[in-house]
Chains A and B, each alone.
Chain A
Amino acid sequence: MSPVFYLVSAMTVAGALAAVLLKPLVHCALAVTVAFAGLAFLFLSLDAQFAGFAQILVYIGAVAILIVFAILLTKGSELPRDGVFSRSWLAGVVISAAVFAALGWAILRSAWTLPHEAAVPAVTVHDIGVALVDRYVLPLEIVALLLTAATIGAVIVAMHEKEGAK
């Protein structure tokens, strides 16, 4: 594997780790942005350009901002009194470790059946667009509906309640 891969992977993992380990919330938000960016690079290295740029646009451009807004709106910038880690954090760590162990074991055990090298897929954005309205038109429409509902829902949920309203 190329050194670029290792570097980007390290960045991603570091960003993720930082996101879960840092105490100030804003730092976590920024760290997860780094992780998103790392993942975008990984997409690009996998010749999934569209996915990579979509990742940058959506995740870093929208989700991360959303997270920062939420942190700000919930006064997350102040450090909490009781500590950032839950009382039974060890259970969580153990479980995650178990999950990683299971996944890792599955991957490593079946590694030899996976292909070594494959040709670069000749896929263009045009193909993606055609597929969206051809084969995947239904999911497209549903996702559109979902996004509408989510938007409206998020607005309603987060809206200030009017005084005297139900």
Chain B
Amino acid sequence: MQAATLFTPQLAASPIAKILWLIPAMPIVASGVISLLKQPRRKAATVLSIGSLSFSLLLSLIAFAHVVAGWAQGAAVCETVNFTWFQFGSTTVDLGWVLDPLSSVMLVMVTFVGLLIFIYSIGYMAHDENYTRFFCFLSLFAGAMLGVVISNSILLLFMSWEIVGLTSYLLIGFWYQKPSAAAAAKKAFLTTRVGDIFFLLGIVWLFAQTGTLLFYNHGAGSIEGWALTGLLAQPAALGLSAATAIGLLIFAGAAGKSGQLPLHVWLPDAMEGPTPVSALIHAATMVAAGVYLIARVYPLMQAGALAGGTTPALTVVTWVGASTALFAALIAVAQNDIKRILAYSTISQLGYMMAGLGLGGVAVGMFHLITHAFFKALLFMGAGSVIHGCHEEQDIRKMGGLKSAMPLTFATYGIGMLALCGVPIFFSGFWSKDAILESAHGWPLSQAPFYMLVFGAVLTAFYMTRQISYVFFGAYRGHNHAHESPRVMTTPLAILAFFAVALGVIGTPAWPWFRAFLDNRAADVSLHAFAEPAWLMLLLTSCVIVVLGIGFGWTLYGNKSPNAEAPDALERAVPWIWAVLRDKFYVDEFYGATFIAFYEWWARVADWLDRRVWGGAVAAVTWLFGLWAQLNRFLDTNVVDGTFDKGCEEISTGGGLLASIQSGRVQNYLRILALAVVALVAILIWSSRP
């Protein structure tokens, strides 16, 4: 596992760390501005999104250079900028960001691959009328993803995580008029939500237990020494410690986002979104966010491990990862949609990454994440190019022979495919997958993950060969004339292809720079590493895997041009297994019969409750109020008004009576005068009596 850091910690925030927040902020601001544009302006949207992301890329490169410089000088860079968001009582809610090797590497990958895909999208979405909305959402996604990467506060990470989920929903359902797209978006959101609930539970528990939301806080962070010992000592349930329980809860969230075994069902359906979305979100970045999360909280997952040993949390991660890798690879064999094959491949590779994290540590898992991002994005964009060239055709049985029609796409796709298969030496995929297999082989608990991963690799090579044969070799079985894509789409392909090859350099045993960088150790160049027997064994194993997979695939599918209607060669051989694989092991049907059915039943019950019980209560109260109102009205009309009216009538009558004194007749006045005089005289007499 990880060796003790020999480097000195560098914790003070440098200038670049202080402005690190600009990296996610720029694309989010660009997204906001685009959303406020009155009419869709393509040029403005393009300039804003690509400009902001380029700026973020520039800042990421500067940050990366700074961290590398620090590493070269023997410093373990972990610069944090934390601040309090709000405070209630004695608890504070803190936010902040961190600049360390892990985040700097991820920043560069996300911004670089993101920028290439943005440029690719200019060409891909050129004919779409909702171009501006696309770039608005894309920028928002980029900003949120970068927020997840730099976050030092688990709350800020969760907030960015949720925005990432939101933009994924918006982008999968980009063509919302299609019912399948809308359903896929909803499915993605709900499935990841299940994971997020557990994640939130983990966050709350962690906060309650450690009292802080920050990961790193000069020793007081939630995954730093003091807090970890506390978490380890706290028992949870089933004999597990709080550290393990929280780790498992957080892994549940990661499993949802990264499509691990029970929560993988949304990823294949997410292919309803446009291809750049599939490339960026569902290959390179968002699905990798789960892996990144586990890497970020790795000290928590690893807490309590003895040297060379493992923890229960990591064991779970390993098993889930290995199972996912094999499961998805099996399904990918029997798919006919070009993007779905790649989707299942992504799920499978994510399983590899998780297994890598569990078996070999942060560096192993992250290295595969980085290399996978490049060649999977390359493959998806290549697939997009193929779909674009074949006029929106996505079924591989209706393609073929495109290597002559689309040479550049074929070349880059081929490089990506070889990297994915792990063809030795020249391709980065080999080096990263090799590291995982090496860790699996050395796992103390069981060799089963190793065999699962090996078999998965064979299947990967097999189905990729099948896909390439169907698409690029043989004769063209489609109806439209295929053409190469414009340069704005093929140039990013070329750049990614270059990196798919070149990235392998930083992960070889001879110069394990990546590993050393992430683990804060020194990296020595030693070509002797190539001569070690263990490594040579592994090299042999990989060669066998590749030969088996590609060879088997070529024999079955090779240069043949199977009829679109005819059953697949493998299907003819083992029809029963084929059916199971094609129907994705009936997981979706299982969910539909259990959870979804229960949910629908529950929704009906709730509706009945709402309408009858609560609605009835409300209606009863309303009726009571109506009654009361009637009573009031009765009182008002009869009692109040009656009294008032009667009173007024009396006054009126009285007034009338009084008015009758003014008869207008002089004699009456005279009479009253005389009477008054008499009365006055009487009073005077009376008062003057002695």
A105 x B685 contact (CB < 8 A): yes
| Docked-complex contact A99 and B671, CB < 8 angstroms | no
Contact A106 B681 (CB under 8 A): yes
B residues in contact (CB < 8 Å) with A: 667-668, 671, 674-675, 677-678, 681-682, 685
Judge whether B681 and A92 touch: CB under 8 Å.
no
List, sorted by A's number, 12 A–B pairs whose CB atoms are closer than 8 Å. Answer: A86-B667, A88-B668, A88-B671, A91-B671, A92-B667, A95-B671, A95-B678, A98-B678, A99-B677, A102-B682, A103-B681, A106-B681
Q: Convert A17-54 into 0s and 1s, putting 1 for each residue whose CB lies closer than 8 angstroms to a CB of B.
A: 00000000000000000000000000000000000000
Residues of B within 8 A of A98 (CB): 675, 678
Write out the residue numbers on chain B whose beta carbons fall within 8 Å of the beta carbon of A99.
674, 677-678
Residue A151 at the chain B interface, CB threshold 8 Å: no
Task: Check A96 for interface membership: any CB of B closer than 8 A.
Answer: yes
User: A95 to B675, alpha carbons, bound, how many Å?
Assistant: 6
How far apart sit A34 and B43, CA to CA, in the bound complex (Å)?
Answer: 127
Contact A95 B674 (CB under 8 A): yes
A105 to B511, CA, bound (A): 147
* A96–B674 CB distance below 8 A: yes
Interface residues of A in 121-156 (CB under 8 A from B): none
Which residues from A are CB-within-8-Å of B678? 95, 98-99, 102
A42 to chain B, nearest CB (A): 24
Residues of B within 8 A of A91 (CB): 671
Which A residues form the contact surface with B (CB < 8 A)? Answer: 86, 88, 91-92, 95-96, 98-99, 102-103, 105-106
Q: Which B residues lie within 8 Å of A92 (CB)?
A: 667, 671
Q: Which 8 A-B pairs have the closest CB atoms?
A: A98-B678, A102-B681, A95-B674, A95-B675, A99-B678, A102-B678, A95-B671, A91-B671
Within the assembled complex, what's the spacing in Å between the Cα atoms of A96 and B671? Answer: 9
The answer to whether A102 and B685 touch (CB under 8 A), given A86-B667, A92-B667, is: yes
Docked complex Cα distance between A96 and B675 (Å): 9
Given contacts A102-B682, A103-B681, 11 further A-B contacts (CB under 8 A): A88-B668, A92-B667, A92-B671, A95-B675, A96-B674, A99-B677, A99-B678, A102-B678, A102-B681, A105-B685, A106-B685
Chain B residues near A105 (CB-CB < 8 A): 685
Residues on the A chain within 8 Å of B685, using CB: 102, 105-106
B660 shortest CB reach to chain A, Å = 12
Considering the chains assembled together, what is the distance between the CA atoms of A95 and B678 in angstroms? 8
Instruction: Point out the residues of chain A lying under 8 angstroms from B677, CB to CB.
Output: 99
In the bound assembly, the distance between CA atoms of A91 and B685 in angstroms comes to: 23
Complex CA gap A92/B665 in Å reads 13
Distance to closest chain B CB from A107 (angstroms): 11
A70 vs B349: C-alpha distance when bound (angstroms): 135
Q: Which residues of A contact B681 (CB under 8 A)?
A: 102-103, 106
CB nearest neighbor in A for B689: A109
- Residues in A whose Cβ lies below 8 Å from that of B682: 102
In the assembled complex, the Cα of A99 lies from the Cα of B682 at a distance in Å of: 10
**Residue numbers in A under 8 Å from B667 (CB-CB):** 86, 92
Considering the complex, give the chain B residue whose CB is closest to the CB of A91: B671
Q: Which residue of B lies closest to A101 (CB)?
A: B678
B674 and chain A: residue at smallest CB distance: A95
Residues in chain B near residue A106, CB distance under 8 A: 681, 685
When C-beta atoms are compared, the residue in chain B nearest to A106 turns out to be: B685
Which of A88, A92, A102 has most B Cβ within 10 Å? Answer: A102
B671 contacts across to A, CB distance below 8 A: 88, 91-92, 95
Nearest B-chain residue to A96, judged by Cβ = B674
Interchain CA distance A44-B681 in the complex, whole Å: 30
CB distance from A141 to the nearest CB of B (A): 31
Task: Using CB atoms, name the residue of chain B closest to A89.
Answer: B667
Report the Cα distance A30→B674, complex, angstroms: 27
Chain B nearest CB from A24 CB (Å) reads 20
Chain B: minimal CB distance from A29 (Å): 20
CB nearest to A86 among chain B residues: B667
Q: How far is the CB of A139 from chain B (nearest CB, A)?
A: 25
Which B-chain residue is minimally distant from A103 (CB atoms)? B681
Separation of A105 and B671 alpha carbons in the complex (Å): 21
- A91 vs B671: C-alpha distance in the bound complex, in angstroms? 8
A101 to B16, CA, bound (A): 121
Q: Cα distance A86–B666 when bound, in Å?
A: 12
* Smallest Cβ-Cβ distance to B675: which chain A residue: A95
Complex CA distance for A64 and B674, rounded to whole angstroms: 25
The residue on B at minimum CB distance from A92 is: B671
In the assembly, what is the distance between CA of A92 and CA of B668, in Å? 9
Smallest CB separation, B467 vs chain A (Å):
120
Residue among B674, B675, B678, B681 with the highest chain A CB neighbour number at 10 A: B678
A102 to B679 CA separation, bound complex (whole angstroms): 9
User: Chain B residues with Cβ under 8 A from A95's Cβ?
Assistant: 671, 674-675, 678
- What's the least CB distance linking A104 to chain B, in Å? 12
Give complex CA distance A16, B671 in Å: 19
| Interchain CA distance A91-B669 in the complex, whole Å | 12
Q: How far is the CA of A149 from the CA of B534 in the complex (A)?
A: 151
Bound CA span A106–B682, Å? 9
CA distance A96 to B681 in the complex (A): 14
* Complex Cα gap A88–B668 (Å): 9
C-alpha gap A165/B49 in the complex (Å): 99
Select the residue from A86, A95, A96, A106 with max chain B CB neighbours within 10 A: A95
Chain B residues near A103 (CB, 8 Å)?
681
Please give the distance in Å from A134's CB to the nearest CB on chain B.
35
**In the docked arrangement, what's the CA distance between A99 and B678, Å?**
6
List, in ascending order, chain A residues with CB within 8 A of B674's CB. Answer: 95-96, 99
